[in-house]
Amino acid sequence: MKRLFLKIILFVFTTSLAHAAEVSNALPAWSMGPFVKHPQPVLSPNAAAKFTCPVLGKEVRWEAQNVYNPAAVVRDGKVYLFYRADDKNPSLKWGRTCRIGMAWSEDGTNFTRHPMPVLYPDNDEWKKYEWEGGCEDLHIVEDESGTAYMNYTTWSGSRDTISIATSRDLVHWKKHGPAFAKAGKTDGRSGVVVSKLVGDRLVAAKVSGKYWMYYTHPCALAWSDNLIDWTPTGKSVWPGGGREAGAIALLRDDGILLMTQGGHKLGAWTLRQTLISRENLVTILKDQPEPFLFPEYEWEKAGFCANTTVANTLVPFQGKWWLYYGGADRVIGLATFTPPRPAP
């Protein structure tokens, strides 16, 4: 009986590996990859970190429960990682508040944490959008001058709102409130701005004279002149929903490479790639039927939210593309892709 059980386990394991290899090998030529996963998380919860919450007026262990779903900026030879961090507070209706922490690394894998969150609910004019739930799933893009624009989801405990914050030094952030406020709306989540590669930097890209953002589960489209005030177009890539804007929307000669999150038989949240038309920003040119990132390790399968790999960022660093992602909504993982060198 024991031998039979071991054979079953071995069969399941080898079948899973074979399927993973099949998915990796099946990457179409227009996509990025294959991505190789780091076997262990690069950042995990830290119960020792303390912060005096201005709303509660007391000290909280602000990243004790989960750290996940990060964004990243590469600057001065370092990766700056901005991540969603959860405390644990049973007295709150939602049981926790999310804040955004920051850590930096010279090699992309070993991180030093900033001691306090860099963005969090406060007793300010934006409190009604951010309390009790907090500040969560974020994306960051820089403009040509080096100003960083953070699109983050504020969660009141009952509704989502995409909000904007800006920074020059990556530590001090100025909140600008809901992204769609001037358009008369306060909703949305997970906004990914179309960017382009300029040398070794990712910067916000204009298409037809405007900045563009994909957001929420249908990958709805919005435009902006200044990366702060956004106007929804009423158009979506997937009008029926099912795909949330993910790690990047990269402007290339052949289209916009959009990475999206969504459910699949391989996981509750997995990552796919789609090529979108540059002329019509909601027209799909090519789509990846199978995910290229999905739960495989135990720390991706078991955690706060099981079987999830959620990637909000992809950055060029040291000759590779670095994809940081949340594993089971508990820790932060890493996968890298090394592009082939051009022929001499």
* CATH code of residue 191: 2.115.10.20
Contacts of 280 (CB under 8 A, 6+ apart): none
> Is 22 contained in some domain?
no
Nearest to 209, CA basis, from 229, 224, 198, 194: 224
Question: By percentage, how much of the chain surpasses pLDDT 90?
Answer: 86
> Is 110 contained in some domain?
yes
Mean pLDDT, range 131-149, rounded to an integer: 96
> Is 181 contained in some domain?
yes
> Is 17 contained in some domain?
no
Token look-up 């390790």 returns 297
> Is 52 contained in some domain?
yes
Which pLDDT value is given to residue 221?
98
Question: How does pLDDT run across 149-162, given as a tens digit for each residue?
Answer: 999 999 998 899 99
pLDDT band at 235 (very low <50, low <70, confident <90, very high): very high
Which pLDDT value is given to residue 19?
40
Query: End-to-end alpha-carbon separation of the chain, Å?
Result: 59
Which pLDDT value is given to residue 12?
36
> Is 55 contained in some domain?
yes
pLDDT band at 341 (very low <50, low <70, confident <90, very high): confident
Backbone angles phi, psi at 135, to 5 degrees: -115, 125
Query: Radius of gyration (Cα) for the chain, nearest Å?
Result: 20
Q: Does the pTM of the predicted model rise above 0.75? A: yes
How many domains are contained in the chain? 1
Mean pLDDT, range 112-134, rounded to an integer: 97
CB 194 within 8 A of CB 211: yes
CB 321 within 8 A of CB 337: yes
Count of CA atoms in the C-beta half-sphere (13 A) of 159: 10
> Is 122 contained in some domain?
yes
Would the pLDDT of 99 be above 60? yes
What string of DSSP letters covers 204-262? Answer: E-EETTEEEEEETTTTEEEEESSSSSEEEEEEESSTT---EEEEEEEEETTEEEEEEEE
Would the pLDDT of 22 be above 60? no
- Which residues constitute the domain of residue 51? 35-337
The CA–CA distances, whole Å, from 124 to 55, 121, 184 equal: 9, 8, 21
Other beta carbons within 10 Å of 182: 13
Q: What mean pLDDT, rounded, does the chain reach?
A: 91
Mean pLDDT, range 188-201, rounded to an integer: 94
